[in-house]
Amino acid sequence: MELDELAGQPVPPERLPNIPRLVAAYYTNVPDPGVPEQKVSFGTSGHRGSSLLGSFNEAHVVAISHAICDFREAEDIRGPLFLGMDTHALSEPAHTTALEVFAARSVELRVASGLTYVPTPVVSHAILTHNRRGGRPLADGVIITPSHNPPEDGGFKYNPPTGGPADTAATKMIEDRANEILTRWMDLPRVRLKKALSNDRTAEFDYLHHYVDDLADVVDLRAISDAGVHIGVDPLGGAAVHYWEPIAERYDLKLDVVNRRIDPSFSFMTLDRDGKIRMDCSSPHAMAGLIALRDQFDIAFGNDPDVDRHGIVTRRGLLSPNHYLAVAIGYLFRNRPRWSPSAGIGKTLVSSSMIDRVGEELGRRVDEVPVGFKWFVDGLLSGSIGFGGEESAGASFLRQSGEPWTTDKDGIILDLLAAEILARTGRDPAELYADLEKKFGSPSYRRIDAPATIDQKEVLKRLSPEDIPARTLAGEPIVAKLTKAPANAAPIGGLKVVTKNGWFAARPSGTEDIYKIYAESFNDEDHLDLILDEAQTMVDNALKSA
């Protein structure tokens, strides 16, 4: 992907989205269920789309909300449904639509006081807290968010009583039911917002303080306070904007929020690599504003709009998510003595092999799973994994007691963990990663995108090892060709090819007409270039011959 000439620069006015048009399209554009791109489609984390493209409109939200009600009835889930949303322009109208449907279906709802924004991990924490404390019937939740996607997008995620992203069987049931009723969405029951809010089954819930008051159980906030770590935070206009100052006040942290603005056009952002507005806290281009302030703080961090991702900024700059995952794992498993000695490490198959080397040194099992945080839910819930992380800057870990904290990604605790690491070791995560490189080598990691049609993406999902006849990759013998994840034998929706010193994985995008190739080399950049070149040739040949 070529670097846009304005990448990392403030958004020029002509690239700002037309928010009134976007919201109007939510109500006026009616999707055509006969067009695949306009149907309900749950990817790795819910349904996403844009009202301007007919892929995220009132009809979708009505249909998905009713489908979730049907799913709850089928699964006998009768407890409260915790409802959250982020700061995207389409989240507010979708939140209203969902609330009206859930109230019409007599769902016991928990909405934020004042209908304010609620981050994804806060909903997960609320579900688990209710259920762990013996709450019956069991609770579940919905978060209305397209994560870090551009301002034009909307999204809808369902978290069952396990607290994390719904598994494939659940999302398939919800998706199929939603598409079945999408053609008659206007005939489905709803109640007006005012009546829905006055319904005796709808109650306000103080999400913020329930979450903030519990944070000391998962991160050593006293150590951060005692060390006087000076922290900078940029919420990137997301749902955490009202959380950071209460956290600082509650735990006496030296913390400055550098940007308190909420603007659905996200006009305060700097453009991402491709010139789009994208609140990706793992991108140095999107995080350019906070990176420029790095010398003012001991450590700084940002989050995406629904706060399930983290971006750690040290004096050296933005830390790669893969690098931070390896450091966090090494630190946590040495500094959480109450965790089970059998608790393993969860990683996605496109995360760095540095994690495997850290895990081997720790004597901990490394469970490699397909892309998607849903694969970590059961492990975090049972405590069989102490940490689950994705290369895309999403992770969560157990309470200090070894009990589950969230089973969805939590950007807040990963941010605060970076401050704990600095407070207790005197060194920031970037310095500690440099130590890992001295010990295990210095890997080069990259992701590239290539164009692919819908049919080609379907072929890629169904590839088998036999479709790749090559015996070597970048001059090394191939030791594994994987279409199923080693930890659970679940289909990876693509292919991973491994050698002694490198690997690549190819998988289709769930939202764009591209496929993604992830690759890593423990040799050097030239070796990585060779892996990527041969990987693209292998995949292209497999797609042509299929």
Write the CA distances from 457 to 38, 170, 246, 452, integer angstroms.
17, 23, 45, 6
Q: Who contacts 541 (Cβ-Cβ below 8 Å, separation ≥6)?
A: none
Phi, psi of 485, deg, nearest 5: -70, 140
Burial of 333 (0-12, 13-18, 19+ CB in 10 A): buried
Contact present, 272 and 285 (Cβ < 8 Å): yes
State the catalytic residue, choosing from 50, 65, 91, 147.
147
Q: Please state, in angstroms and rounded to a whole number, the distance separating the CA atoms of residues 99 and 80.
A: 13
Q: Who contacts 117 (Cβ-Cβ below 8 Å, separation ≥6)?
A: 84, 85, 86, 87, 238, 239, 241, 242, 262
The number of angstroms, rounded, from the C-alpha of 362 to the middle of its chain's C-alpha atoms is 26
Count Cβ atoms below 10 Å from residue 203 Cβ, excluding itself: 12
Instruction: Let me know if 147 is a catalytic residue.
Output: yes
Provide the terminal-to-terminal Cα distance of the chain, rounded to the nearest Å. Answer: 26
Q: What is the 3-state secondary structure (H, E, C) of 156-175?
A: EEEECCCCCCCCHHHHHHHH
Nearest to 420 by CA among 281, 219, 215, 184: 219
Contact present, 405 and 413 (Cβ < 8 Å): yes
Give the helix ranges, DSSP H, for 137-204.
168-181, 193-198
Structure tokens at 448: 């590239």
Structure tokens at 63: 């249909």
137: cis peptide before it, omega within 30°? yes
The residues that bridge with 476 in the sheet, in sequence order, are 473
The number of angstroms, rounded, from the C-alpha of 375 to the middle of its chain's C-alpha atoms is 13
**Active-site residue set:** 147
